[in-house]
Structure 1
Amino acid sequence: MKILVSACLLGIHCKYSGGSNLTQGLAEALQAAGHSLVPVCPEVYGGLPTPRTPAERVGERVLAKDGRDVTAEYRNGAAAAVRLAQLTGCTAAVLKANSPSCGCGTIYDGTFTGHKIPGSGVAAEALRAAGLAIYNEETYTELL
């Protein structure tokens, strides 16, 4: 199976802070199970730089901590992620938990205080709507 994977989980330095969210063993375990991995960073694909100002979802909008509305960039990145999944034949995605782009199930609440609420990121919603099964770094073992 081909799986779309948040690039930051694979150690690629595309996190908002300029770092990564490398998840030890994730790539190795998925590949050992016979899966092919396709890295993606919807935020970068949407035109945002690395590093970038942190952002959180507020309803249907995505706002940067400095008050800028970056919803369009997040939507563009989500569309690019869907196109990449379709072009490469991905049927599942392992995405970064809590992210305004990739979070699935919980996201930060928009107050930049670390408080989480039920919800999903813009790309996670778009990928799910396109028919992909969505996992995160805490649930990906279901694919093994």
Structure 2
Amino acid sequence: MKKILISACMLGDNVRYDGGHHLIKHPVLQRWQQEGRLVPICPEIAGGMSTPRPPAETQCKFPILVTTKEGDDVTPEFLIGAEKTLEIAQRERVACALMKAKSPSCGNKRIYDGNFSGNLIDGAGIAAAELMRNGIPVFSEKELPELFAFIEDSERMSA
């Protein structure tokens, strides 16, 4: 039975920067949670940030720079959170991850451009990129059918 790393906000934990959550009520995810297959993580909380916290966006990829809207450098917290996320994923031997789209930590394909204007650019959040660099596929809530197919295929192959 494959495990899936999941952004804690998607399970209803109030860990988002604004103190809220992004609960996803889907029967497959609810079943996986009951089966103990979901491994929750909030990389930003794991990196030592509080809830609520100022919004943050990636300013630069090389070298990595993540700042709040006020200009405070929160790169160390994001990097620590990414490292801890990878450690948990490897320890739990997750097959993949389901992470929050557009997040500076969890976004898998598009993130905000760093101007705090709502514009998106191609790229991954710090934790999602770390997982993918280490061979762990990352899906967003916009890719649930792909996630379900991936798990079904991987379980069929390992049966």
Structure 1: where are the runs of 5+ without partners? none
Distance 2:41 2:109 in 1: 19
Counterpart for residue 41 of structure 2 = 40
8 Å contact 1:91–1:131 — kept in the other structure?
no
Secondary structure at the counterpart of residue 93 of structure 1: strand
What amino acid does structure 2 have at the position aligned with 1:57? T
Which residue is equivalent to 2:152? Answer: none
Matched, 1:6 2:7: yes
Residue 83 of structure 1 corresponds to 87
Mapped partners of 1:35, 1:52: distance in 2:
30
> Per the alignment, do residues 18 and 5 of structure 1 end up closer, same or farther by CA in structure 2, a change over 3 Å counting?
same
Deviation string for 1:103-133 (max 9, x for gaps)? 0110001111111110100000101111101
Matched with 2:119 is 115
TM-aligned CA deviation for residue 23 of structure 1: 1.7
| SS of 1:8 mapped into structure 2 | helix
Q: What is the aligned residue count?
A: 142
Q: Which residue in 2 is equivalent to 1:65?
A: 69
1:8-67: per-residue Cα shift (whole Å, max 9, x none)? Answer: 0111000000000112216226x28x7810000000000000000000011121111111
Judging by fraction of residues, say which structure has more strand.
Answer: 1
1:21 maps to which residue?
Answer: 22
Q: Which residue type is aligned with residue 22 of structure 1?
A: L
**How high is the TM-score relative to the length of structure 1?**
0.93
In the TM superposition, structure 1's runs of 4+ consecutive aligned residues that sit over 6 Å from their partners are none
Alignment partner, residue 142 of structure 1 = 146
- Contact in 2 for aligned 1:10/1:27 (Cα 8 Å): no
| Cα separation, 2, equivalents of 1:84 and 1:94 | 14
User: What secondary structure sits across from 2:109 in the alignment?
Assistant: strand
Which whole-Å CA distance do the structure 1 matches of 2:147 and 2:57 have between them? 28
Identify which of structures 1 and 2 has the higher relative contact order when contacts are C-alpha pairs closer than 8 Å and 6+ apart: 1
The CA deviation at 1:91 is: 1.9
Secondary structure of the residue aligned to 1:79 is helix
Point out the structure with max Rg over C-alpha. 2
What is the aligned partner in structure 1 of residue 109 from structure 2? 105
For 2:147 and 2:52, the matched residues in 1 are separated by: 31
